[in-house]
Amino acid sequence: MRHLPTLLITLALFLLPLAVAIEHKFPTDWQSRLYLPEFIVQPDYHTPLFTTGIFLPSVIRENITLTASHNPYLLVNTTRINPLVTVTVEPGVKIFAAENTALVVDGRLFAQGTSTLPITFQSNEKHPLNQTWLGLMAQPQASIDLQHVSINDASPAISCLPNSHVAISQTKIYRGSVGLFQSQTPCRLTDSFINGPTIGLVSINTVPQVINSLIIAQQAEIITSSAPTN
């Protein structure tokens, strides 16, 4: 009997590879996994549409103008526009964002396309699992002016934080989890179209300003709430 523990350990070591092999062959019959998940090689879904182009810096410190002749522009990390700095985006410019990046505006973003040459912000990922990015964020005292712009796969597409100024006109927002997010200060949405996000507009402590615009969402067009105040 004193050799029984050694026998059991030997038997377990012998049977474990057999059990793992059976588990691989009949994966749906097992309620829990015998081997560690990191042993399984997961497919790499990160496949960028573009690997070369004009890379936007992490901080924009002086006034610049983006032109269509230099397309594509790549947002590979979150980019911040400093206070008192203006970024002007000309018609036809295309900006492609890596997963989980954002364009944070502390200064001014002035993006005016045309009906024939709209400005596009979209994910730089081919695979749907990696296409979510964090959109345009208007910080307090910042200004965003958009006309004839298309924003795709961002969540939220545009964030309007307290005391910011955001005017959105003739703009299209597609997919993502939230089209617009606003807190205390509303985004002004005019002659625009939001299609496909889970929620079209989230408004906290402010009244939405939606003028001659259409919102089509999977769960709710507009959600409003009042945060508790101390």
Q: Where residue 228 falls among pLDDT bands split at 50, 70, 90?
A: low
**Exposure letters 92-118 (e unless 16+ CB within 10 A, then b):** bbbbbbbbebbbbbbbbbbbbbeeeeb
Q: How far is CA 46 from CA 41, 68, 111, 120, 129, in A?
A: 14, 26, 29, 21, 9
Q: What is the pLDDT of residues 152-184, one digit of tens each?
A: 999 999 999 999 999 999 999 999 999 999 999
In this structure, of 41-50, 82-91, 119-128, 198-207, the range with the lowest mean pLDDT score is: 41-50
Gap between the Cα atoms of 148 and 171, Å rounded: 5
| Confidence band of 34 (pLDDT split at 50, 70, 90) | very low
Segment 35-56, tens digit of pLDDT: 445 455 556 677 999 999 999 9
- Mean of pLDDT values over 191-208: 96
Percent of the chain with pLDDT over 70: 79
pTM for this entry: 0.80
Per DSSP, the three-state class of 102 is coil
Domain boundaries, the chain: 4-39, 54-225
